[in-house]
Amino acid sequence: MSVMQSMPPSTPGQDRFYALLRWFDAWAGLENMKLDGPPKVDWVRSIPFIAVHLMCFGVFWVGWSWTAVAVAVAFYFARMFVITGWYHRYFSHRTFKTSRTVQFAFAIFGGMCAQRGPIWWASHHRHHHIASDTPDDVHSPRQGGFLWSHMGWIMSQTHYAPRFKGITDFLKFPELRFLDRFDVLIPIITGFAMFGLGMLLEAKAPDLGTNGPQMLIWGFFISTVALAHGTFTINSLSHVYGSQRYETGDDSRNNFFLALITMGEGWHNNHHYYPASTRQGFYWWEIDMTYYGLKLLERLGLIWDIRDVPEYVRDGKSKQDTDLGALKRPLEIKIPVPAQTEEIPA
């Protein structure tokens, strides 16, 4: 299926028009979108992204409550699981299998994260693995600096379009194309739902001390901004700070703190070494909450064929070396030699 066709270059006026239209239809005018040339921030297109950050200052008007903070934290980790387990480990790497219904459900949940649609997210991440820390990497600290790798790249018109050629396996699903094209729909519904939750709690449980505006600011805006920057740290900080267990040819690192706030994504060097594994914490002490959550979904029958890291991969060996070692072990077993006082069986 051809989604983008080559068209004559657009005028500055058309660029501004499409930038505004893409607030509501992310695929509007893709044939006119600038995909070449030096990337730079598209400020008009980025206004919604900036506005979500500015809305966090609403906390000075709505105040806080333990209820609102608890909902914000819970919603942060619930959505982090969806980003890491589904947008990343499923849509980007296909490290397990599921049904079309469950796939669609978690794509909707992913939309609540306000990190665009699954096709856009996964296509850019797949490209990152192909070009990690090279000049073609869209978010490399080595190439573009910390701020660009952290958030500047997603504000660039060059990277607003999905990389359709790298995601044809999911592009065939019309429901995923819809969610990706109208990626603003689910976040808006989520914001209204959070406001409604606050109003409901104010009416039914006033002792909790929260209300609609407060829940909207904490439960949606603050939680969403924290979620975004938690996710972004894997593109930026995990390519700068941490340890490298494996030689991967890039700057990916393992970072325990980042693994905690991203539910396992901080074991980034492990992941770049063997991205086919659902589990990113290769050893028992490498906490990977997303993996544990996916194992629970497997027990419930919602997903299957989870891929663990093979022992020979984890230990940095080749499969051939492991197979040879297994063949040699029986030959290395020592046969006990009877003592001189013992009789040797006939």
| DSSP code per residue over 213-250 | HHHIIIIIIIHHHHHHHHHHHHHTGGGTSSB-SS--SS
Classify residue 263 by its DSSP letter: T
CA quadruple 110, 114, 115, 121: dihedral sign:
positive
Mean pLDDT of 34-51: 83
pLDDT at 2: 46
Q: Are the C-beta atoms of 275 and 262 separated by less than 8 Å? A: no
**DSSP secondary structure, 22-50, as one string:** TTT-TTTTGGG---SSS--B-TTTTHHHH
Packed helices 174-181 and 118-130: angle between N→C axes, nearest 10 degrees:
90
Region of 22 (left: φ > 0; alpha: ψ -120 to 50; beta: rest) is: alpha
Question: pLDDT at residue 339 above 80?
Answer: no
Token code pair at residue 115:
């990190």
Mean pLDDT of 219-227: 98
Q: Angle at the Cα of 317 (from 314 to 323), degrees rounded to 5?
A: 110
Identify the band that residue 9 occupies on the pLDDT scale cut at 50, 70 and 90: low
Question: pLDDT at residue 323 above 60?
Answer: no
Token code pair at residue 21:
């239209």
pLDDT tens profile 163-180: 899 999 999 999 999 999
Mean pLDDT of 72-94: 98
Helix (H) or strand (E) holding 66: helix 66-82
SS3 state of residue 165: helix
Helix (H) or strand (E) holding 272: helix 268-273
Token code pair at residue 109:
């949940």
Question: pLDDT at residue 135 above 90?
Answer: no
DSSP lists the bridge partners of residue 243 as 254
Mean residue pLDDT of the chain comes to: 88
Q: Are the C-beta atoms of 85 and 77 separated by less than 8 Å? A: no
The pTM of the full predicted model, rounded to 2 decimals, is: 0.87
Question: Which distant-in-sequence residues (6+ apart) come within 8 Å of 142 by Cβ?
Answer: 133, 239, 251
pLDDT at 161: 84
